[in-house]
Every structure is written in C-alpha cells, then in structure tokens.
Amino acid sequence: MIDGPPIMIIGIGNLDRGDDAAGRLVARALRYKLPSHIVGVCEMSGEALGLVEKMKRAPTVFVIDACLSGKKAGEIRRIDLRHEALPSQQRDVSSHGFGLLAALDLASILGQLPEICIIYAIEGENYSLGAAVSSSVQQAIEKVVSRIEEDIINCIPMKETGHA
C-alpha cells in the first residue's frame, strides 16, 4: 500500500554502538536536504516486520545499514535488488532483531518488495556500546549521502520536480 512520498529512505542502526549508527546518520543528513513531498526519511533499529511495513509505503526505497563482512572499514556496497541478489556472506550479520535481510526476504515472499529497492551497506569496524563512529565510516556516510542524492535525481521524472 503506497501512502506517502514516492521515495522512502530508511536508515537502520543503533546510535549507541559506534559504526552501527551509519544508516541512521545517513538518514539524518538527508532528512532536510530533500523535498518531503517527494522523499520520506525514517530511522529504524532494524526490526524486520517494521521494515517490511515501511518498505511497502513507496515504490522506490533506499535502505542504509552498517555491515560486518570482513572487508575494509568504510567500504561501501550498493546493491540494486532489480539487478543483483544480496551476497550470501552478508546474511545474518545484522544485529537488529530479524534484521534487514530477513525483512527483504519476507517482503519478497509477501509480494511487498518495492519496485526499486537499493541497499547501501557501509562496512563498520567498531560496534561497541558507547563507541564513536570511526573516521573511515564517517567518510563513507558522507559519500553515501551524495550517492543517494544522485540516485534520487536519476529516479525522479522531471515532471515531479516541477522542472518539466
């Protein structure tokens, strides 16, 4: 059921666990940079059923989360689910209840996966309680903010922006 802006940004993470805050910090950076009638922004802890509920509200969804796959901290992975599947080695790496991957699987099974679903995974290194976001992840956050802005420009038909 689509009941909001045509694009939804969902930032996942825990602000108290260092690099795990990456997704939420991207969402916060984008919240006031983008027109709210076109782009909705929300922050979540990553619980699967809540994610499925948010994802079905828009035809285009960007999900940003930290990941722990053994790659270099700050590395960014962009996954467009129209063209590629999530890597199997990234399954069960979320610390968010059922997590992002379970939410995507559930949405797919229920036929509620958005038409366009793009995942940005930022490799973290420190998920300790009370830790600060590492400098490599902070730099990645800034890059992901810019990339999502570019992605959104490419997703929005000119007539929706008022520049037709």
Q: In the prediction, which pLDDT does 89 show?
A: 52
Q: In the prediction, which pLDDT does 99 show?
A: 72
Architecture of domain 7-161: 3-Layer(aba) Sandwich (3.40)
Q: What is the 3-state secondary structure (H, E, C) of 118-138?
A: EEEEEECCCCCCCCCCCHHHH
What phi and psi, each to the nearest 5 degrees, are found at residue 76?
A: -110, 135
Residues of the chain with pLDDT under 70: 1-2, 87-98, 156-164
Please say whether the beta carbons of 104 and 81 come within 8 A.
yes
pTM: 0.86
Q: In the prediction, which pLDDT does 127 show?
A: 94
- Boundaries of every domain in the chain: 7-161
What phi and psi, each to the nearest 5 degrees, are found at residue 36?
A: -65, -20
Please say whether the beta carbons of 19 and 127 come within 8 A.
yes
